[in-house]
Structure 1
Amino acid sequence: MKPVLALVAFLTPLPALAPSSVSAQARAPGGGIVTSADPRATEAGQAILRQGGSASDAAIAMMLALTVVEPQSSGIGGGGFLLHQSAGGKLETIDGREKAPAGATPRRFVDAAGKPIPFIEAFQGGRAVGVPGNIRLAALASKKWGKLPWKALFQPAIRLAEGGFAVTRPMAEATTRVSPLWKNFPATAAQYGSTGLTQGTTVKNPALGKLLRKVAKDGPDAFYTGGNAKALLAAVTTSKLNPSEMTAADLTAYQAKERAPVCGEYRGYRVCGMRPPSSGATTVLQILGMLERFDLKALGKDSPVAWHLIGEAMQLAYADREKYLGDADFVSVPVAGLIDRGYIGSRSRLIAEEKTLSAYDAGTPPGAPPRTAAEQREVPGTTHFIAVDRAGDVATMTSTIEGPFGSQLLANGYALNNELTDFTFAPEKDGAPVANRVEGGKRPLSSMAPTIVYKDGKPVFTVGAAGGKTIIMQVTKAIVAHLDWGLNARDSIGEPLVYFNREGLVLEQGTRLEAMKPALEKLGHKVSVGRLPLKANAAELTTTGWVGAADPRGVGTALSE
């Protein structure tokens, strides 16, 4: 396959799946619930809850199981963000985002002339791989909130890796799309077939099963040191394409980080999410805040004007995202200014119900440093999962290896991420450093947006999604659908999506939004219809207990304890 065609195949979203009819929603009166993007991972979480495990325990078990059964999307070779709400306690978050090796420089993804290299050349091989964070995240979560022994959390994933599992349609299609790249990645071709896999095929992963047994027995250090560290470093430093300078010290130095959540108000509810390097919470809160002065409930979900307003707020918020967001350990990020109600109000006043803006430029939030905007790329991928235990603890986590099968490299059977391509390739723009440029030890900007919504101090709704930069809009749309339009959790995430590209709005293909194209064009939008890479999970508190939901577009499920 020619490089350009390979890139097209890689970036083209998978077609929408028929709605799942198997456990897409689960109600748990007085008990716990779990939901994920794969039935076997959901079952793993359910099994842990039934053994007396906590919400955190169940989330870890699902992350590990997804490493096996959804290797195209996430796993221990990547990283993630976790929100944890203790029943009657406080909301805490863990940042398990991958880090660039210490030797990485701002010129990592530019050529000799200083120009950004093509993405097809960047994402394959070792140079795109960040130090994985999910095992350190899991270990910290287990220490803080776990009830079951560490090794118990690995057992469902071990059984799947060693006993085998049936390939789902999403996995089969992902392998078919990226397998032309695997001529340079023999370990991946050996595990998943040089031409991809067929839905229903049984796959075993004994190398991964062996590693999971080792980490279960010896603890998280067994991932970052010893035999696995050697295998990981061998994979990235001897890669046929783009070998990396990652060292053993980069692995042993990695730590997951606790961060204060970012919260804001929307129509009497409190909405909370992750702090940078996630751009999820700040951007979601900006969009919601700009929409709050409009009566979306009265307009309704079938109103083109409602979707016009959402589209306007979306593009203004994303403009701020591109200019100001990055790893706050390295650059000044005006989080408080971005979600300041006065600032958001001034941005909202730019929006009119009867017409579009002529341009969507970033604003100047309070405390913002001088900065130039630079576009950041994220490839559709990732996964989300949720657990609520019998005590009422909530764990909601988004996990990723970036694009389908990440860097295309395997180590001990697990896929290694290509998260470093989430950095902005051009280190400078207009003579000024870009906030999200590559630097040694830095975490790349992310759109992952695990979110919890509160009413009167109690968690009542939680949602997260997969799909690159659409994640923010999937979460925002679900919150609007739930709070403004009164839809339940499953219908909220199943509601169609409006997104945007450089030309204008993009309406989700095959949905009722297509019929709104003429009306939106009359308002001044340039509108196209296209497939969007959507996959979300949610849960809501009802009068009879928690109800979990999986996106009806996919194969995910929800189960009660």
Structure 2
Amino acid sequence: MSRLSVFLSLPALALVSACNFAGEDAVSPPENARTGNQAQREAMVAAAHPLAVEAGLEALRDGGHAVDAAIAVQSVLGLVEPQSSGIGGGAFMVYYDASDRALTVYDGRETAPAQIDETLFLDDEGDPLSFMEAWQSGRSTGVPGVIAMLAMAHDDHGTRAWADGFTYAAHLAEEGFAVAPRLHQIASRVAEVTQIDERQPSARYLFDENGDALAVSQVVTNPAYADTLRAIGEDWRNFYTGEIAQGIVDAASERPLPGYLTMEDLAGYEPLRREALCTPYRELQICGAPPPASGGVAVGAIMGMLENFEMSAFGPESATGWHLFIEASRLAYADRDRYVGDPAYADVPVEGLLDEAYLNARADAIALNQAIASAEAGTPPGAPQAAVDGSDDAPGTSHFVIVDAQGNAISMTTTVESPFGNNRMTQGGFFLNNQLTDFAFEPRDEDGRLRANAAAPGKRPRSSMSPTIVLTPDNEFVLATGSPGGNSIIAYTAKSLVGMLDWDLSPDAAAALSNVVARGDVVSIEAGFEGSKIETLREFGHEVRGGQGETSGIHIVRQTEDGLVGGADPRRDGTVRGLGED
């Protein structure tokens, strides 16, 4: 019997609203920005910046739908947190319709240009480019998908006018916003490893004339972004045709290593509706996005293996509990690396990877006090021959969660890939993504077998994004979670689920819980993880690298008997607030 179940999209309720602003000066975050861990809330937004949270709440406060709030949140994040996401990138959204208790996944993943082939990141000698070469090249940019995806979701469920979703962000772009600590930090790091010069438009936006990052709290404006948002508000197709699209093509065509994007690539982009992947876990259902997102498969596999153990008997202070989490993670990552790619181009054995008997057999290999010598991919039912692909995802990503007054919920992970995408800004005031670096740089293994995640025309690169919604057996909403963090997203998201569902932690505590990432034979453990547990894990045979910086950005909203409770990761600038906290 398969553990896999699917849900289809269904229509939402209709409500009409408008947007307003609190003031006309440069906007500052609300003082009560981190008070989300309270009950008695009728709606809630958790996102990576207080101003994005406020934009989402404005939409909900005026009676808007969760999708309307998502448009507002994304448009603000692209302005105030451009190192992580933006309209030049892509996203996966898991949407829960409260009226029909149904899930839909909206796939806004970027697509590769029609003119590329599997050698995209090989040099003239057939050797793979270094990541630094590929990162800021024009070759790294795929067709942005988030705007088309949001437009599709709005057509299905939105109740406010499409244009209203962009007015809050356009106001901020013209009036100014204060540079947040993480924006300053990431900009400073980018300045250290790249040459910020006149060729890179980013120098005119977040860096001063000396190439130094703007100071924390310095007010920044971006009027070009405001103009772009207004054009999108008039018609979302304006992003994919005309002046905005030409700006994307021109920026991607700049040297070094100009890319292959064309106006035809942009005009032909199509978002997709997909069925959610749901795996049972202790009387609940863990639901996520299917391939080309690997989170729904890998998070589901981790949890499916852990269901074989009484995780609640160990708790977060137990080395054994973390050992079990590590082993399940290693096995799930191994399968993910071998089998997951764009299902339109690769034979991905999704049902086999989440098959109950298969996961039980994988769990049988886990001992309580001894590490597996080498975590290898298994052979799930329906497995094709596939080459292992150990490509890394870069951590320039953001995650947010929204629950509206009708109980509709969104878990959405959105990204431009690396910090500031490929560091190329269009004349429209937004950064391009470098999403194509998620493809395998070496498209074939030593035996000549094509990797599941090899580049191809029109293909969507594999992603680790793991937007997750948990439901009861009757399909009632329990919680939504997710995180940025490159390929560590899978571990971060699974950690938050174990923390809440097995260890009875609040959303805030689950987000703050130490991050433990195990992929391959190395376990990366966050600084602050208690030392004796590390020593025990080493005694079990794990190769542990302690004191690592694991910068998750988990955001959670959970339904309780007393109302909604939220959590925001303390590692970033994120906040959570509910209606009624104003």
Q: TM-score, normalised by structure 1?
A: 0.94
Distance 1:337 1:503, change over 3 A: closer
* 1:53 aligns with one of 54, 59, 64: 64
Matched, 1:537 2:537: no
Q: 1:24 offset after TM fit, Å?
A: 4.9
- 1:452 is paired with a residue whose SS is strand
What letter is aligned with 2:443?
P
| Stretch deviating more after TM superposition (186-195 or 307-316) | 186-195
Correspondence 1:44-83 to 2 at 5 A: 44-83=55-94
State the match for 2:220 in structure 1: 203
- The question of whether the paired residues in 1 share the 8 Å contact of 2:521 and 2:542 is answered with no
Within 2, Cα distance between the matches of 1:147 and 1:52? 9
Stretches of structure 1 that go unaligned for 5 or more consecutive residues are: 1-19
What letter is aligned with 2:339?
Y
Correspondence 1:11-90 to 2 at 5 A: 22-27=33-38, 29=40, 31-89=42-100, 90=102
State the match for 1:12 in structure 2: none
Q: 1:554 offset after TM fit, Å?
A: 1.9
Within 1, Cα distance between the matches of 2:357 and 2:70? 37
- 2:52 is paired with a residue whose SS is helix
Within 2, Cα distance between the matches of 1:106 and 1:55? 39
Within 2, Cα distance between the matches of 1:306 and 1:501? 17
- 1:93 is paired with a residue whose SS is strand
State the match for 2:13 in structure 1: none
Within 2, Cα distance between the matches of 1:392 and 1:59? 14
Within 2, Cα distance between the matches of 1:186 and 1:306? 47
Distance 1:340 1:502, change over 3 A: closer
- The question of whether the paired residues in 2 share the 8 Å contact of 1:453 and 1:459 is answered with yes
**Residue by residue, what CA displacement relative to the aligned partner does 1:17-40 show, whole Å, maximum 9, x if unpaired?**
xxx984252546351111101000
**Residue by residue, what CA displacement relative to the aligned partner does 1:453-501 show, whole Å, maximum 9, x if unpaired?**
0113211111010010111111101111101001111111111111136
- The question of whether the paired residues in 1 share the 8 Å contact of 2:95 and 2:104 is answered with yes
Within 1, Cα distance between the matches of 2:282 and 2:198? 52
- The question of whether the paired residues in 2 share the 8 Å contact of 1:26 and 1:560 is answered with no
Matched, 1:417 2:433: yes
* 2:467 aligns with one of 450, 458, 461: 450
State the match for 2:451 in structure 1: 434
Matched, 1:280 2:295: yes
Matched, 1:98 2:110: yes
Within 1, Cα distance between the matches of 2:147 and 2:495? 31
What letter is aligned with 1:235?
A
Distance 1:435 1:424, change over 3 A: same
Correspondence 1:127-526 to 2 at 5 A: 127-179=139-191, 180-183=194-197, 185-193=199-207, 194-217=211-234, 219-237=235-253, 239-411=254-426, 412-429=428-445, 430-456=447-473, 457-500=475-518, 504-512=522-530, 514-526=531-543
**Residue by residue, what CA displacement relative to the aligned partner does 1:249-289 show, whole Å, maximum 9, x if unpaired?**
10000011001111110111111000100000110011111
What letter is aligned with 1:471?
I
- The question of whether the paired residues in 1 share the 8 Å contact of 2:514 and 2:528 is answered with no
What letter is aligned with 1:190?
R
Q: 1:515 offset after TM fit, Å?
A: 3.5
What letter is aligned with 1:169?
P
Within 2, Cα distance between the matches of 1:74 and 1:185? 22
Distance 1:388 1:536, change over 3 A: same
Within 2, Cα distance between the matches of 1:386 and 1:523? 37
- The question of whether the paired residues in 1 share the 8 Å contact of 2:82 and 2:431 is answered with yes
Within 1, Cα distance between the matches of 2:318 and 2:199? 49
- 1:469 is paired with a residue whose SS is helix
What letter is aligned with 1:60?
I
What letter is aligned with 2:233?
A
Within 2, Cα distance between the matches of 1:151 and 1:22? 26
Within 1, Cα distance between the matches of 2:200 and 2:550? 31
- The question of whether the paired residues in 1 share the 8 Å contact of 2:319 and 2:533 is answered with yes
**Residue by residue, what CA displacement relative to the aligned partner does 1:227-253 show, whole Å, maximum 9, x if unpaired?**
10111111111x122111211110000
| Stretch deviating more after TM superposition (112-121 or 95-104) | 112-121
| Stretch deviating more after TM superposition (547-556 or 422-431) | 547-556
Within 2, Cα distance between the matches of 1:503 and 1:449? 22
Within 1, Cα distance between the matches of 2:32 and 2:529? 19
What letter is aligned with 1:189?
A
- The question of whether the paired residues in 2 share the 8 Å contact of 1:126 and 1:236 is answered with yes
Stretches of structure 2 that go unaligned for 5 or more consecutive residues are: 1-30
Distance 1:293 1:500, change over 3 A: closer
Task: Give the length in aligned residue pairs.
Answer: 539
**Residue by residue, what CA displacement relative to the aligned partner does 1:514-536 show, whole Å, maximum 9, x if unpaired?**
44111111111111111112111
Q: 1:425 offset after TM fit, Å?
A: 0.6
Q: Which has the higher helix share?
A: 1
Q: 1:294 offset after TM fit, Å?
A: 1.1
- The question of whether the paired residues in 2 share the 8 Å contact of 1:45 and 1:61 is answered with yes
- The question of whether the paired residues in 1 share the 8 Å contact of 2:200 and 2:423 is answered with no
What letter is aligned with 2:205?
Q
Within 2, Cα distance between the matches of 1:295 and 1:393? 32
Q: 1:418 offset after TM fit, Å?
A: 0.3
- 2:465 is paired with a residue whose SS is coil
- 2:345 is paired with a residue whose SS is coil
Within 2, Cα distance between the matches of 1:501 and 1:138? 33
**Residue by residue, what CA displacement relative to the aligned partner does 1:44-72 show, whole Å, maximum 9, x if unpaired?**
00001011110111011101110100000
Moved beyond 4 Å, runs of 4+? none
- The question of whether the paired residues in 2 share the 8 Å contact of 1:182 and 1:408 is answered with no
Q: 1:126 offset after TM fit, Å?
A: 1.2
**Residue by residue, what CA displacement relative to the aligned partner does 1:337-390 show, whole Å, maximum 9, x if unpaired?**
000000001110110002111110000000011112121111112001111111
- 1:392 is paired with a residue whose SS is coil
- 2:482 is paired with a residue whose SS is strand
What letter is aligned with 1:446?
S
Within 1, Cα distance between the matches of 2:482 and 2:470? 11
- The question of whether the paired residues in 2 share the 8 Å contact of 1:538 and 1:548 is answered with yes
| Stretch deviating more after TM superposition (545-554 or 450-459) | 545-554
Within 2, Cα distance between the matches of 1:380 and 1:24? 27
**Residue by residue, what CA displacement relative to the aligned partner does 1:204-248 show, whole Å, maximum 9, x if unpaired?**
00111111111112x1111000110111111111x1221112111
Identity within the alignment, %: 39
Q: 1:125 offset after TM fit, Å?
A: 2.5
